[in-house]
Amino acid sequence: MAQMETRGGDGRWSPKGATALVTGGTRGIGHAIVEELAKHGAVVYTCSRNQKQLDECLEKWKSKGLKVTGSVCDVLSRMEREKLMENVTGYFDGKLNILVNNAGTNVLKEATKFTAED
């Protein structure tokens, strides 16, 4: 993996060379975040619940020359989250610079009523 550059040519922070995980990266805001990070030089790993959407996005990003890979993961499943982390750890050799926890759901409960599984 390339070294992360913290400053671009204009002196501002740059993700060039950074490793990034963006959950829910095949639609909406997550999709835009994946593209922006990759366009600015980050190597991005993303996940989606939908294999077909993931494959279509990965192909599109590859055709644009962007460094993006990913796998299927439903972040509601603890087992799938653990597998995702194994995949990401292996892909980035244990070095993750950026995490965008974009995928999620809306669970309406009092904060004190949440469980670890929630």
Domain CATH number, residue 82? 3.40.50.720
Question: Letter for the amino acid at 82?
Answer: E
Residue 67: domain span: 19-104
- Residue 10 maps to a domain: no
- Residue 2 maps to a domain: no
What confidence tens digit (pLDDT) does each residue in 29-70 have? 999 999 999 999 999 999 999 999 999 999 999 999 999 999
Strand segments (E) across 1-118:
19-23, 43-48, 68-72, 98-100
Confidence of residue 22 (pLDDT cuts 50, 70, 90): very high
Strand partners, 99: 21
Looking at the structure of the chain, the number of domains it has is 1
**Surface-to-core class of residue 47, CB atoms within 10 Å of its CB (0-12 exposed, 13-18 middle, 19+ buried):** buried
Q: What is the pTM of this model?
A: 0.83
Mean residue pLDDT of the chain comes to 90
What confidence tens digit (pLDDT) does each residue in 93-109 have? 999 999 999 987 777 88
- Residue 5 maps to a domain: no
Q: What confidence score (pLDDT) does residue 25 get?
A: 96
Q: What confidence score (pLDDT) does residue 54 get?
A: 98
